[in-house]
Each structure stands twice: as structure tokens, then as C-alpha cells.
């Protein structure tokens, strides 16, 4: 479904954002296991695992890149669709939720974009990216190239809608006393039928 965004544009993104806002809000510390809800927190890296966004070069935990070309005979087509994400942590008021983004929709509003009608072969960075994703493309047919990239960076404040399951929080375990009750955290895992929604809308 997300591959259609290049051609459906904002209507699809707005629909998913409405679903994100419609989820019941809850602080991470008060969320009940198995409840579909919306939480907010600051993105933290998990196990030193990060990505480098291919267009902007930013360090991130998730990115979505689309490259759309306009060709003389074929018109517009989605040449490149690349979405990657690594597990990360949402932290809020000393509580943590682990996000497993294998199935997620990125709804962050800020994007890095470029719309060019010439020069994409002359620009070393653009050409290297095209060669990486589509080395056999016939560039002579391309009269326009649009790059669009959305990223989720460490330190960003984001909201997430989904269903969480509780587990022992190892970060809190290291700080608690011998007789203290073990603090728990949530782990969010989406599915193809019900992906996690990750956005930067206010909670």
C-alpha cells in the first residue's frame, strides 16, 4: 500500500495521519498491554544500531526514499522505493518502549526533496545514488527526476500508534535496588495487516 504514495500523494498520507490521531493517547508508564493506543516519546538508538539515509546522509533509525522519474514516452513512474528501519527506543519520563519497525508506516511531515529536470547525471551524488539503485536505467529517456526522503532521527520527538506487549526493562534493571520491583517496558510489533504508525503529529 505504501508504494502507492508516490502517485496517490497527500490523500493517503492524510488518511494514515487521521488513523494515528484517532488512536487513544496514553503515557508509556500507564499503557495497558494489548491496548491499541498512541504514545509519544523521544527516539533513542537501541544496541548502537543506526542507518544512513541515502539522499540526505543523515544518521537515523528509519527512512523512506522515493525517486520518481518522468520519461518522454512512459510519463511518471516510481523508479526507486526504499524503506528501511531498525529497532529503536521511545523514551518518556524515565519509561521506555521498544519499537520493532519491520511493519510500519512513516508519517513524519518533514522531508528532504529535490525536483530536477537536468543535471542528475552530472551531479556525482545523484548519479551515484541512481547507479546504486538502478544501474541499468536508460537516462536519456528521463526528462525529470524527483527525489523524496523521510527520516526518523535519534533525538526526534515522535508519536506511535500500535499494540504493545510488556517485558522487563533491562535499562531500569541496572538502576534498581536488590529488593525493588522490576520495571517493565513495552515492545511494539506491527504486522502487514496492522502496521505501526510512526509520525511527528502532536500527541
Residue 57 has pLDDT above 80, yes or no: yes
* Whether residue 178 has pLDDT greater than 50: no
Query: Region 133-158: what's the mean pLDDT?
Result: 86
**pLDDT, position 72:** 78
pLDDT for position 182: 61
State the cell numbers at 37. Answer: 493506543
Report the pLDDT averaged over residues 25-34.
85
Region 122-148 average pLDDT: 80
Q: Give the global pTM.
A: 0.83
Range in 27-31, 96-100, 153-157 the model is least confident about: 27-31
- Asked if 65 contacts 147 with a C-beta cutoff of 8 angstroms, the reply is yes
Higher local confidence (pLDDT), 185 or 65: 65
Amino acid at each position: 500500500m505504501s508504494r502507492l504514495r508516490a502517485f496517490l500523494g497527500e490523500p493517503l498520507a492524510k488518511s494514515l495521519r487521521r488513523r494515528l490521531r484517532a488512536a487513544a493517547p496514553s503515557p508509556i508508564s500507564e499503557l495497558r498491554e494489548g491496548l491499541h493506543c498512541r504514545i509519544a516519546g523521544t527516539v533513542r538508538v537501541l544496541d548502537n544500531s543506526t542507518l544512513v539515509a541515502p539522499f540526505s546522509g543523515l544518521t537515523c533509525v528509519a527512512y523512506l526514499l522515493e525517486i520518481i522519474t518522468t520519461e518522454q514516452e512512459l510519463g511518471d513512474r516510481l523508479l526507486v522505493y526504499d524503506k528501511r528501519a531498525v529497532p529503536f527506543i521511545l523514551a518518556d519520563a524515565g519509561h521506555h518502549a521498544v519499537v520493532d519497525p519491520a511493519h510500519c508506516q512513516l508519517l513524519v511531515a518533514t522531508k528532504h526533496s529535490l525536483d530536477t529536470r537536468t543535471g542528475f547525471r552530472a551531479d556525482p551524488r545523484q548519479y551515484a545514488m541512481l547507479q546504486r539503485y538502478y544501474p541499468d536505467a536508460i537516462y536519456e529517456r528521463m526528462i525529470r527526476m524527483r527525489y523524496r526522503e523521510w527520516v526518523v532521527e535519534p533525538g526526534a520527538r515522535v508519536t506511535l500508534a500500535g499494540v504493545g506487549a510488556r517485558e522487563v526493562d533491562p535499562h531500569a534493571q541496572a538502576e534498581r535496588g536488590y529488593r525493588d520491583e522490576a520495571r517493565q517496558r513495552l515492545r511494539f510489533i506491527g504486522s502487514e495487516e496492522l502496521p505501526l504508525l510512526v509520525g511527528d503529529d502532536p500527541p
